[in-house]
Structure 1
């Protein structure tokens, strides 16, 4: 799916770098993802969740906090309050662009940050909030810092190691982390909440999820990430968490009322990426695209896939209806359809073509399933395939009439 690079200006005067994952088709809403402590927008959880949401029609922005990844500023002088301010700045970008309440998603300390940011942002701007492995006690993150914190409090600054990386931390950083009562913040939230946590999380224990869940008001939900590590390094764990958030979020970012649901036929609307389009029928919607080799994002079937599918599905339905009507033991069918653009190379009647018009063909291969079918029944079922409505339409004197608006 298409990814757009964006830059976010903060009140502190520096810029944050972000990646906006866009749905191939239409956008039903927007989400903001906050990464874990000292991670970046490229973490496995950030990428997996953002792209899973985009597949559900929810544009998702993942960005680097101050002083991390490609963002400006000094991480060691920022602290939790700066993370919250960064989130508010990024959220405002989404609110201006998509003009509707957004979903907030946070991983680890990023989860604590989105819970705190919702109050600063304003509940009317937040549709729902989901966290992954979030601590209930923000100062908990100080336990992950290898360094003399007391010396930093006395001297104002010092060198530490976090997750194998060296940072210079300030006294302000420590104070901003310590001066937050997250459970009180959660108790004030008036938005749907989803907490995801692994019972075997060795960095942020499951008791943190219990405390957050108890403090939260309804509607609230919990999903156990059994067997997952804190950083969701296993791709399967990251994908599972992403799918759970995407499914849950769809309840709070419903389909837009202005999306086309035609009374007949289909409506196709341009989406995002080079070829992304969204197809709407009376009761369904799906994506069409082109392969990456053609410059597309390969997020849906191609137009010719859909053409082949129209013939194949209609063939299978027609044969089944015919066999059922006869009471014959047809258990099912497999129909393979391919498109040949230069069919004249396979034919001996090229002279019948109009001048300058290449002959094309849809090649259909049918396999019937049902060991109790007689040879005569098989022959008659195969013969009825040529009478399916789509087959007849394609071989009729078909005209396409176009009007512009």
Structure 2
């Protein structure tokens, strides 16, 4: 996916590092993503979810909060409230680009932050949280034995995920006073709560409290056995697909493609998983699908194989051609079903592919089921018409593929 890296001014005037993942096809909506506590915009979950959403037409801005990642400022001088202010600043930066966010997505403490920030972001119509605590104070359990030192000395260095962070008394007090119940009750946006029942960092009871306090429209989706950081790619892909499908109901999606989007008549295929074979397919400005390979061939089996798409094209075209003819004739055809299988067989008359090796030819076997009060002559005629399907004719004739570098 193409991305745009830039900086914008955070709550205290520091330059915050941002990455905007843009769809290659139609730009349907814009989302703002808030990462987990002490993480960054490039953590695996944030990167994978942003890229998958972009593959489905939703641009995603992810950024490093003040003092984290590539952003300026001192983490020791930040707080939960300052994270919320950074989110509001990020939304303003998007609006200045003509891309005001309609969807807010937050992971862990970032989920708590978007719940609070939502009412200050006028363009936001929907909010999705992933493993979010109901009260930001929940993260103080990470400070363990340092809590007393923070309160008494004013600050302490805490080891979080193998990295040292200075936590101030002000940070602690801000967390302890940041109840989200009122924010959730007055959210006035569609809410999606996603949580794993076995989350060992933020318990499932947090999701229950968020959901119970929220008003409709609200939805809850379990992430099954995902871990808190959503480190497995399949869990991140699932979260992104659910968010995109759910958000479509609540966002006024712009269905016109941008200048660099996929125009009508163009099929654009973009690699979604460089380590596997998953592909995002954008057909014109409106249609999206996934292509993949079976697990036995190294894929993740999340979409049809390339030959599956070819067989689907033949089957769909066959059914449509039969329907058009029967409709024109006024015949009582009630239903059409076409089954297509594909195989490669050695062709006796084909040119040799190499020394002593006969070239294989593609064989598509098509079984057509016709339902309705049709006589034998009508059924025979419809079977003949199936061979006039344009895709059928394309497959039987020689084709030419012309390739150029973009």
Q: When the two structures are superposed, what TM-score results if normalisation uses the length of structure 2?
A: 0.70
State the Cα distance separating 1:392 from its structure 2 match: 7.1
Counterparts of 1:173-252 in structure 2, within 5 Å, are 173-252=171-250
Whole-Å separation in 1 of the counterparts to 2:389 and 2:204: 58
1:77 paired residue number? 77
Q: Deviations over 1:69-127 (max 9, x none)?
A: 11111112211111111111111122232445521110110000001111333xx3211
1:332 paired residue number? 339
Question: Residues 147, 6 of structure 1: CA spacing in aligned structure 2 closer, same or farther, 3 A cutoff?
Answer: farther
Task: Answer yes or no: is the 8 Å Cα contact 2:106–2:113 preserved in 1.
Answer: yes
SS in structure 2 at match of 1:7: strand
Q: Indicate which of 131, 142, 167 corresponds to 1:144.
A: 142
- Number of equivalenced pairs: 341
Q: Which has the larger radius of gyration?
A: 1
Counterparts of 1:353-364 in structure 2, within 5 Å, are none
State the Cα distance separating 1:369 from its structure 2 match: 5.0
Whole-Å separation in 2 of the counterparts to 1:104 and 1:175: 26
State the Cα distance separating 1:310 from its structure 2 match: 6.9
1:27 paired residue number? 27
State the Cα distance separating 1:367 from its structure 2 match: 3.1
Question: Residues 78, 308 of structure 1: CA spacing in aligned structure 2 closer, same or farther, 3 A cutoff?
Answer: same
Question: Residues 159, 246 of structure 1: CA spacing in aligned structure 2 closer, same or farther, 3 A cutoff?
Answer: same
SS in structure 2 at match of 1:54: helix
SS in structure 2 at match of 1:76: helix
2:8 paired residue number? 8
State the Cα distance separating 1:238 from its structure 2 match: 2.1
State the Cα distance separating 1:156 from its structure 2 match: 2.4
Counterparts of 1:232-381 in structure 2, within 5 Å, are 232-256=230-254, 267=264, 279-280=283-284, 285-286=287-288, 314=317, 332-334=339-341, 365-368=363-366
Structure 2, unpaired ranges of 5+ = 271-279, 291-302, 345-349, 353-360, 369-380, 398-406
Q: Does 1:126 align with 2:135?
A: no
SS in structure 1 at match of 2:30: strand
Task: Answer yes or no: is the 8 Å Cα contact 2:28–2:255 preserved in 1.
Answer: no
Whole-Å separation in 2 of the counterparts to 1:27 and 1:336: 38
Task: Answer yes or no: is the 8 Å Cα contact 1:198–1:230 preserved in 2.
Answer: yes
Whole-Å separation in 1 of the counterparts to 2:33 and 2:165: 24
1:117 paired residue number? 117
Whole-Å separation in 2 of the counterparts to 1:250 and 1:242: 12
State the Cα distance separating 1:255 from its structure 2 match: 3.1
State the Cα distance separating 1:237 from its structure 2 match: 2.1
Question: Residues 313, 364 of structure 1: CA spacing in aligned structure 2 closer, same or farther, 3 A cutoff?
Answer: farther
SS in structure 1 at match of 2:210: helix
Q: Deviations over 1:165-198 (max 9, x none)?
A: 2112222222222221211221121111111111
1:63 paired residue number? 63
Structure 1, unpaired ranges of 5+ = 261-265, 289-299, 338-344, 348-362, 371-379, 397-405
SS in structure 1 at match of 2:48: helix
Task: Answer yes or no: is the 8 Å Cα contact 1:23–1:271 preserved in 2.
Answer: no
SS in structure 2 at match of 1:229: coil
Q: Does 1:37 align with 2:46?
A: no
1:17 paired residue number? 17
Q: Deviations over 1:194-222 (max 9, x none)?
A: 11111211111111111111221111111
- Greater shift, 227-236 or 21-30, is seen at 227-236
Question: Residues 321, 132 of structure 1: CA spacing in aligned structure 2 closer, same or farther, 3 A cutoff?
Answer: same
SS in structure 1 at match of 2:16: strand
Task: Answer yes or no: is the 8 Å Cα contact 2:107–2:130 preserved in 1.
Answer: yes
Task: Answer yes or no: is the 8 Å Cα contact 2:27–2:256 preserved in 1.
Answer: no
Q: CA RMSD in A?
A: 4.3
Task: Answer yes or no: is the 8 Å Cα contact 1:312–1:336 preserved in 2.
Answer: no
SS in structure 2 at match of 1:201: coil
SS in structure 2 at match of 1:126: coil
